[in-house]
Amino acid sequence: MNISIYLGSSIHCDSKYNTLARNFGRILAENGHTIVYGGSNVGTMKDLADGALEAGGKVIGVFPRSFRGTRDIWSRGIEVQRSDVSEMIEVEDFAERKKVMEELGECSVTLPGSFGTLDELFTYACNRSIDKHSKPVYVLDYDGYYEPLKQLVANMAKAGFLKPHLNDMMIFCSSVEELMQHLCK
């Protein structure tokens, strides 16, 4: 299965998230899944691809053509776009990247990340809510990272802002093992 994965590119996060991403990439590859991700060579995005490629998996990157990274990254001389993935699709901008990743993936998985990660998750979930697709939306709530989001979604449902059939649209999993049970059905 092609799985669109949204996660962070920060080089400053706690190393437990790097380990999580690397292990998740390896597990996905070992189970025959193809990773579709943002094509970056930094942060947990790099670790996800590393884990999958080291296990012989297929990794498709989707990367904005003109993006060179944040000042923090390019000032260190780090090449932001990954060059050794199975396939690299260059797109015009981040909006097109989200669109292509949504089209290529049969579901989405969101790992811990920041604003960009949440933007991708919400775009994917919003498109599901307006019937642009019916693909599963998984959120890995590793170590309680997404508990506030889980509560926010519950608040939206309780206040009537989510249609009843969408109350459980985001499937929160507390471990990689639980997530893999969903992905390997």
Could you report the per-residue pLDDT of 147-182, keeping only the tens digit for each?
999 999 999 999 999 888 888 899 999 999 999 999
H/E run at residue 118 = helix 115-129
What is the layout of strands, in order, in the sheet containing 137-140? 87-91, 59-64, 34-37, 2-6, 107-110, 137-140, 170-173
In this prediction, residue 70 carries a pLDDT of: 63
Q: How many CA atoms lie within 13 A of 177 on its CB side?
A: 0
Domain coordinates of the chain in residue numbers?
A: 2-183
In this prediction, residue 75 carries a pLDDT of: 65
Average pLDDT over residues 54-66: 94
Average pLDDT over residues 35-56: 96
Share of the chain above pLDDT 70, in %: 92
Per CATH, the number for 2-183 is: 3.40.50.450
Share of the chain above pLDDT 90, in %: 80
